[in-house]
Amino acid sequence: MIVYFCKMKVVEINFLKKWYSSNRQEKVSGRWITLQQIIPLIENLNSNFKIRKIGKSFLKKDIYSVSIGKGKIKILIWTQMHGNESTGTKALFDLFNLFENPQELSYINNQILNQCTIVCVPMLNPDGAEVYTRLNAQKIDLNRDVIDKKAVETDVLQGVLNEVKPDFCFNMHDQRTIFSVGKENKPATISFLAPSEDIDRLITKGRKQTMYVINAMFEFMKKFIPNQIGRYTDEFYPTATGDNFQKMGHNTILIESGHYFNDYEREKSREYTFYALFQGIYFIASKQDMSNYKDYFNIPNNEKYYLDIIIKNVNYKDKKVDIGIVFKEKLINNELKFIPTIDKIENLSNYSTNKLVLDSDLVFFNKKDMKDWVKNEFN
C-alpha cells in the first residue's frame, strides 16, 4: 500500500513493519560481524544477484560486491569501512531479503530494480571487522584516506566507484551512544549528513539532491522514531570519503546508525537503518519531487548529551556530583564486552541516559574508589 505525504510517495509504515518482522535476515545479528559470518549469506543469494570479489584487504581477505537491478540510476552502498560499525551491514542483508522475498511489496521491488542498479560492498574493511576495530590492519582510517590512498581497501572502493559511476552513494556508519538529538536529548538512533564539497559548504546542485533524499528519509523515519533522528555538522573534511565523492559528482548520503534505548546489540537500530535505506532507495527510484532541499536544515543537530549510565547525587570530595559512565567496547577472549568507564564527574542534569541510578548515600573520597565501585557495580 502506498500513501502520500509532503508530495512524497512512500510505503505505508505498518505494511513495511509487518514485512520486516517476518522476513529480516535472521542469520546475522549482534555487534561483532565478521567476514566469516557473511560469506555464507552472500553465497546463498539467488541468481538475481551478481556476486563478485572486487579485491583483497591488507591481510588478503576477500572484499565482495553484490549487485542487483537493471536500471539506469546507479547506486553504490558500502558498509563497515570502519570495521566495528556493523549495523549497516545487517540492514543491507535485510534489504537483500526484501529483494529476494518481496511478497506484497513486489510492485515496489520491481520499480526499484527496473529503475536502479544497486551495487553493494557489504564489508569494505574485513580486517578491522575481524578484530573489532575502526581502522584497517595498517591502522588507517579508511574514511580519511581518499586523498592519500595509503590503504589497499581505499583502492578497492575507488575501483568500484570508477566502474559504477554512481549517481548516489550510501556511506554507512555507526555512531557512538553519546550522541543525542532534540530538546529531551533522546539517543540519536539515526543521523544523516549531506557532506560539503568545499570549506564554504556551498549548496551545489549535487548537494541539493543529496539533501532531497535525506529529507525523504527523515520524513519517513519521523513516523517511527520522532526526536531520535539527527543531522551531522557539514563542516568540510578535506580527506573524508563522502566529501570527496560528493565533490566528484557522486551524491553521497552518510547514514550513522546509533543507539536505541537498551539496544546494545543494535538490532532495533538495524531495523530503523533498514527503513531509512529502503526509503532512500525508493525515493531515488521513483524520481519524485525534489524541491524541498531546504527542509534539510530543519533536521535537528546531533549533540553529545547522552550517556550509558548516570549516577545522580553522589558525595565526592565534600560535594554533590553526578557520575557519567560510557561503555567502552572491547573484545576479550573472543567475546565483545561493554566495559563501564567513568567519563564525567559533574552536574549532569542536561544529560539523558539509558540507565539512571539514584543513590545519594554513596560517598567517594577519591577517584580510585569511585572507579573500583563502578567496576564492581556494573561489570
Strand partners, 353: 307
Q: How many residues at the interface with Zn ion, by CB under 5 A?
A: 3
Residue 61 vs 173, nearer CB to Zn ion: 173
Residue nearest to Zn ion (CB): 173
Is residue 171 within 8 A of residue 242, CB to CB? The reply is yes
Q: How far is the CB of 76 from Zn ion (least distance, A)?
A: 17
Q: How far is the CB of 211 from Zn ion (least distance, A)?
A: 21
Task: Print the SS3 string covering 22-50.
Answer: HHCCCCCCCCCCCHHHHHHHHHCCCCCCE
Q: How far is the CB of 173 from Zn ion (least distance, A)?
A: 3
Does 82 contact Zn ion by CB under 5 A? yes
Does 263 contact Zn ion by CB under 5 A? no
Residue 78 vs 220, nearer CB to Zn ion: 78
Alpha helix (H) residue ranges in the chain: 13-23, 35-43, 87-100, 106-115, 126-130, 152-164, 205-222, 241-247, 267-285, 367-378
Among residue numbers 146 through 205, which ones bind Zn ion (CB under 5 A)?
Answer: 173
Q: How far is the CB of 171 from Zn ion (least distance, A)?
A: 9
Residue 172 vs 374, nearer CB to Zn ion: 172
The string over 262-297, giving b where at least 16 C-beta atoms fall within 10 Å of a residue's C-beta and e elsewhere, is ebbebebbbbbbbbbbbbbbbbbbbebebebbebbe
Residue 84 vs 115, nearer CB to Zn ion: 84
Residue 174 vs 322, nearer CB to Zn ion: 174
Is residue 170 within 8 A of residue 209, CB to CB? The reply is no
Please, what is the Cα angle at 213 between 210 and 214, to 5 degrees? 85
Does 250 contact Zn ion by CB under 5 A? no
* Cβ within 8 Å of residue 148, ≥6 positions away: 239
Residue 31 vs 173, nearer CB to Zn ion: 173
Considering only the stretches 81-89, 233-241, 292-300, 336-344, report the one whose residues sit in contact with Zn ion under the rule CB under 5 A.
81-89
Among 63, 83, 85, 285, binds Zn ion (CB under 5 A): 85
Cell of 125: 574493511
Interface residues with Zn ion (CB under 5 A) are 82, 85, 173
